[in-house]
Amino acid sequence: MTEWLDDYLLRSVVAGLIMVIIAAPMGCLMVWQRLAFLSDTLGHAAVLGVGLGLMLSVMPIFGVLAVALLIVYSLSRVSSFNSALSETTLAIISHTGLAGGIILVGLLPAQSVNLEAILFGDLLATTGTDLLSLLVTTLVLLILLAHHWRSFVAVSVSREIAQAEGIEVRKVQFLMYTMIALLVAVMMKVMGVLLIAAMLVIPTTSARLFSRSPEQMVALSALYGLGALAGGITGSYHFDWQTGPAIVVSATALLLLTLAITRFARFNID
Question: For 139-182, what is each residue's pLDDT tens digit?
Answer: 999 999 999 999 999 988 888 888 888 888 888 988 998 898 89
Rg of the chain in Å (alpha carbons): 19
Contacts of 23 (CB under 8 A, 6+ apart): 183, 187, 199, 200, 203, 221, 225
pLDDT band at 110 (very low <50, low <70, confident <90, very high): low
CA angle in degrees (0–180, nearest 5) for 254-215-80: 90
Record the pTM. 0.86
| Percentage, residues of the chain above pLDDT 70 | 92
pLDDT band at 5 (very low <50, low <70, confident <90, very high): very low
pLDDT of the residue at 269: 62
Residue 200 · residue 23 · CB < 8 Å: yes
pLDDT band at 194 (very low <50, low <70, confident <90, very high): confident
Mean pLDDT of 2-13: 67
Torsional class of 241: left (φ above 0), alpha (ψ -120 to 50), beta (otherwise): beta
Residue 243: pLDDT over 90: no
Give per-residue pLDDT as tens, 221-239.
999 999 999 999 898 888 8
Residue 199 · residue 188 · CB < 8 Å: no
Return the CATH class of domain 4-194. mainly alpha
What is the distance between the alpha carbons of residues 47 and 149, in angstroms, rounded to a whole number?
30
Contacts of 59 (CB under 8 A, 6+ apart): 53
pLDDT of the residue at 252: 96
Among candidate residues 75, 53, 56, the one with its CA nearest the CA of residue 64: 53
Residue 233 · residue 12 · CB < 8 Å: yes
Average pLDDT of the residues of the chain: 85
Give per-residue pLDDT as tens, 31-42.
888 887 888 888
